[in-house]
Amino acid sequence: MRIAILSDFHIGYDRFREDAHRQAEEALELASQSADMMVIAGDIFDYRHPKPEVTVEALSLFKKTAAGRFSAKVIDFDGRGKIYTDVPIIAIPGTHERRTDGEIDSIDVLNLAGYLINANQARAVVEKDGEKVAVYGVGGIAEERFKETLEKLDPKPVEGAFNVLLFHQSVYEFLPFGENVIRLEELPEGFDLYVDGHIHSRVEAKCHGKNFLIPGSTVLTQLKDGEQEEKGFFIYDTKTNEYTFRKINSRRFFVAKVNVEGLSPSEIGSEVEGKIAKIAAEGHDKPIIRVILEGKIKDGFRSMDIGLKDISDSYSKNAIVEITKSGIEGKDSKEAEDLRNGMLENISIRDYGVGIFLEKVKDKGYSLDIGPSLLFDLLSSGEKKEIVIKKALESILADSGEALPVASR
């Protein structure tokens, strides 16, 4: 049997909404023409609560796909929910669709419409000409709960079938974000194919001696170096255990790095424009270009002196340009740029703000008995402002001997 393996459509993704819809549509159409069945490894939607118009978009796409002439049928289902079709489109919710256990999620809507089968913590068996494929799915959950959930579910292969484990999680070998992240060796044994979503780049590996595949997203979302590969999906042959990658028409993504060492803002502007112009001249259909500035700029200048908006705007008809200054050395803008790009790891925005606040207060010569986090919370509270300010001033002035001003009425 031929299985189409897809993942991470992110329908409704605000930044590139048209790309997400168009590329999901092409992937589904090609997959339905090329395979006997398909599995989708989560994040069909970009939000847990998609807007009504986004839900309608997805319903329209899957209505068309489900109407295709699949040569295989779902003959058995073992799970907590119900199914309303025998169309062999097997899907699970991803982390973007994850909701509290028992609550209806956006994948359930497509399941209730009869356009696919939600195999979250369930098994669906597909049959064609006597051959069976059993798909056991586990939707995206918090990383620290995944191992425990797998142990509790204890998924087992079905005898006499080709068995697929379908899930949506980080895997340590590819995203080493901590000891809570599952490793390949910790996945249950006995399956003929392991399929994962969540990771937006294509992965081809082995797990317990069997193929482990991640098709990657069908739309670009993170604009990270390393995501320049073309988008698409896998077609897997269960009889030969061979697979191919089918490309779809996706917007090209380029990363251009500019060394700003010792350069003035005007010189940097010339370098940046040259990089953008070279890529734009290659004739791609409005590519995404991310320019990364690295190095220490010429003495006497700050990163905020580098004004590049006019350059990016001048190419707006031919490309989508993003310029990142986070690689420039110097404290004046690096931390703020990192914060905007979500690059400050292991620190929340609130904790970052507390740190800055404490630095500023100490610079003023105050020695506080009250903890900086509490004081920050008091000052940032939106309720009972007068009481908050009074408490803060009492704490600040306690050691100075100064009297607290009395408000006039």
Residues 62 and 156 in one domain: yes
Q: Over 70: is that where the pLDDT of 362 sits?
A: no
Same domain for 360 and 278, yes or no, is no
Among 48-62, 191-205, 223-237, 239-253, the least confident range: 223-237
405 domain residue, yes or no = no
Single out the residue in 222, 247, 272 at which a domain terminates: 247
Considering the domain architecture, whether residues 149 and 211 belong to the same structural domain is answered as yes
Q: Read off the pLDDT of each residue in 73-86 and give the average, rounded to a whole number.
A: 94
Do the beta carbons of residue 62 and residue 90 sit within 8 Å? no
Question: pLDDT, tens digit, for every residue of 263-302?
Answer: 998 999 999 999 999 998 888 889 999 999 999 988 888 8
We report the CATH number of the domain holding residue 286 as 3.30.70
Per-residue DSSP letters for 122-168? EEEEEEETTEEEEEEEE----HHHHHHHHHHH---PPTTSEEEEEE-
How is residue 120 written in tokens? 């979250």
With a pLDDT cut of 70, the percent of the chain lying above it is 79
Do 69 and 127 have their domain in common? yes
- Residue 215 tokens, joined: 């098709």
Asked if 52 and 152 sit in the same domain, the reply is: yes
DSSP output for 13-62: -STTHHHHHHHHHHHHHHHHHH-SEEEE-S-SBSSSS--HHHHHHHHHHH
Q: At a CB cut-off of 8 Å and minimum separation 6, what does 31 contact?
A: 4, 6, 38, 65, 233, 235, 246
Considering the domain boundaries, does residue 404 fall inside one? no
Answer whether residue 216 shows pLDDT above 80: yes
Kindly state whether residue 169 falls inside one of the protein's structural domains. yes
Q: Is the pLDDT of residue 37 over 60?
A: yes
Residue 319 has pLDDT above 80, yes or no: yes
239 with 258, same domain?
no
Q: Does any domain span residue 402?
A: no
Section 60-64 average pLDDT: 95
Instruction: Decide: 293 and 268 in contact? Cβ < 8 Å.
Output: yes
Residue 331's pLDDT band, with cuts at 50, 70 and 90, is very low
Residue 409 is assigned to a structural domain of this protein:
no
Tokens of 320: 């989508």
Q: Quick check: is 125 in a domain?
A: yes
Which among 207, 225, 247 is the end of a domain?
Answer: 247
Nearest CA among 87, 91, 92 for reference residue 74: 87
Domain count, the chain: 3
Contacts of 406 (CB under 8 A, 6+ apart): none
Question: What pLDDT does residue 330 have?
Answer: 47
**Residue 101: alpha-carbon gap to chain centroid:** 21
Whether 102 is in a domain gets the answer yes
Same domain (yes/no): 216, 267: no
**271 and 229 inside one domain:** no
Domain limits at 148? 2-247
Query: Which pLDDT value is given to residue 86?
Result: 95
Tell me the pLDDT band of 146, cut-offs 50, 70 and 90: very high
- Whether this prediction's pTM lies above 0.85 is answered by no
**Considering 340, 357, 385, which residue would you say is the last residue of a domain?**
340
Tokens 């839900």 — which residue?
55
Least confident of 117-131, 212-226, 323-337: 323-337
Q: In Å, what is the CA distance from 211 to each residue of 36, 41, 94, 97, 154? A: 19, 15, 21, 26, 20
CA distance 26 to 247: 10
What b/e readout covers 233-249, taking b as 16+ CB neighbours within 10 angstroms? bbbbebeeeebebbebe
pLDDT band of 378, cuts 50, 70, 90: low
Residues 234, 142 share a domain = yes
Count CA atoms within 13 Å of residue 391 on its CB side.
15
Q: By the 8 A CB rule, do 8 and 55 touch?
A: no
159 shares a domain with 308: no
Residue 109 and residue 220 in one domain: yes
More confident residue, 309 or 35: 35
Gap between the Cα atoms of 230 and 176, Å rounded = 24
Output the CA angle 128-131-135, nearest 5 degrees.
90
Indicate whether 409 pLDDT > 70: no
CATH number for the domain harbouring residue 37: 3.60.21.10
pLDDT tens-digit profile of 106-124? 899 999 999 999 999 999 9
Contact 89, 116 (CB under 8 A): yes
Q: Is residue 108 domain-resident?
A: yes
Residue 167 pLDDT > 70: yes
| Whether residue 56 is found in the same domain as residue 103 | yes
